Amino acid sequence: MAAATTQADPARNGVPVTKTTRLAPTSASASRMGVVVFRGTAGPGATPVWEAEELEPRAVRLTLRTATSSAPVAELPNDYFTTVYRKFDLLPDGTLWQMRPTPAGVEFTRRSVKP
């Protein structure tokens, strides 16, 4: 699976250049990559972070991946009681907030992502 980011290239006088990074599933099991979305950068090196849905026979795993790690840097619950338009928010310092609707109300979860 490939994810593309567009960055200004100083060698080309700031002209945007698309760079492609290959992302692989976490194991050789039956999981396949679904959607892969660039979600921002995190950490002191501004490491690019992607949301990846990994399709398994009876589930869809929601993971966060970086180009510098072969395994996901985080796995989030992916069961929502209602439709959500933004599954989580990733801040530049690596703080991740997830709001997950449940039958009892909205559950707020804070994590730290270290790319």
pLDDT tens, 7-64? 555 555 555 555 555 555 445 555 677 888 888 888 888 889 888 888 888 888 888 8
Length of the chain: 115
Strands (E), the chain: 2-9, 15-22, 32-42, 47-56, 59-66, 74-76, 88-90, 95-102, 105-112
How far is residue 74 CA from its own chain's centroid?
Answer: 8
Of residues 110 and 28, the one with the higher pLDDT is: 110
pLDDT at 1: 47
Kindly list the domain boundaries of the chain, sorted by start residue.
2-7+25-112
pLDDT of 110 over the 90 cut: yes
CA distance 103 to 25: 32
Q: What is the pTM of this model?
A: 0.60
Stretch 67-94: mean pLDDT? 83
